[in-house]
Structure 1
């Protein structure tokens, strides 16, 4: 019996908890940069926000609460890395028939959270290529090419000009959805 107790003690000391394991996994920048992740371009996200029904798209916003409350994309939810390990956010990430896009100011933050989510078994996870900084530059602050030379440049001018106006309006009318919070459940049973 003493041997069994010693074995349990050794196992508990050597085994790290789930959260610290995943946080340690994404510490290596080379691993994070080279990990194959599905990406969504700023144009694709703009298209999904303006042209398609947004119900199947869930935007997981990894910025801090202050920045998120200043402006947030429609259908986005404030999330932290800690939320990945909680029950209610966990259920949020398991919704079926939805595509989840992790967004943050920079792509590296998105990559770290997406890698952890994928390693935890979540599916349909993408990151926004270049982060929200790139999305802002390419879509929200888009300046049309004065004399487009190719048909692609003409289409890009037309789409981004329209998307810039529509998404700015959507952001203005958007009510930020705060972080997914734990719900207290009342205790059942008793006398």
Structure 2
């Protein structure tokens, strides 16, 4: 019952997010910076905003990080305090409010790298994506579910129940191995130390026979 209620809340939240994206996509046209026909056309922006192809999963990102794939840049669009508290390996921090700064363009306007935005969920990352997409930047992606999904799938993967299919156990093993790569510790990693009891060797007692002293004669 609780799971169904949570699913409904999430579904409603993502509908609201989609609506906000559409409003942003249309609203950006009214900004002075975009009245000079910079970037892509509004109708193309709207089409891109509806598409889900921009999303990349946490499993895909984990695989890229583990295999040291150099073809992507992780951009944390949260505030600096959140970034310093915890972020993904090798990520750079460009807060959402600085996305349009001139200094940010050299990281975001890429032709040879994929730029992957992420935040706690999709909310700020999607906004960063739509701003950069409007400018005509290429190879833009969004980490689906953000840090929340990263924690719930890679760092703390749920263990499947016995009634689940074999694929669920294989995925769990893969995610568990990934979590260990990123520093998660599991109790079964510690092998019990075998206590070796010292052998007690009985001490050999050597007896020494006392010599009888000669009896001295009297006078």
Which residue does the alignment assign to 2:134? 119
Q: Structure 1 stretch 145-154 or stretch 131-140: which is displaced more?
A: 145-154
Q: Determine the C-alpha separation between the residues in 2 that align with 1:158 and 1:110.
A: 29
> What is aligned with 1:25?
none
User: Where do 4+ consecutive residues of structure 1 move more than 4 Å?
Assistant: none
Partner of 1:103: 118
Match of 1:44 among 60, 80, 94: 60
Structure 2 unaligned spans of 5+: 1-29, 37-45, 185-219
Higher helix share: 1
Question: Cα–Cα, structure 1 residues 19 and 80, in superposed 2: closer, same or farther, change >3 Å?
Answer: farther
> Does 1:136 find its partner at 2:151?
yes
Relative contact order (C-alpha < 8 Å, sep 6+): which is higher? 1
Alignment of 1:1-191 (within 5 A): 16-18=31-33, 35-37=50-52, 38-50=54-66, 52-147=67-162, 149-168=164-183
In 2, Cα distance between equivalents of 1:146 and 1:20: 55
Q: Report the TM-score when normalising by structure 2.
A: 0.59
- The offset of 1:130, in angstroms, is 1.4
TM normalised by structure 1 equals 0.66
Structure 1 stretches lacking a partner, 5+ long: 1-14, 22-30, 170-191
Contact kept, 8 Å, 2:160 with 2:172, in 1: the verdict is yes
RMSD: 2.7
Shift of 1:16: 4.1
Q: Distance in 1 between matches of 2:153 and 2:176?
A: 10
1:19 Cα deviation after fit: 7.7
CA 1:20–1:101 in structure 2 vs 1: closer, same or farther (change >3 Å)?
Answer: farther
Please give the alpha-carbon distance, in whole angstroms, between the structure 2 residues aligned to 1:20 and 1:111.
22
The CA deviation at 1:104 is: 0.2
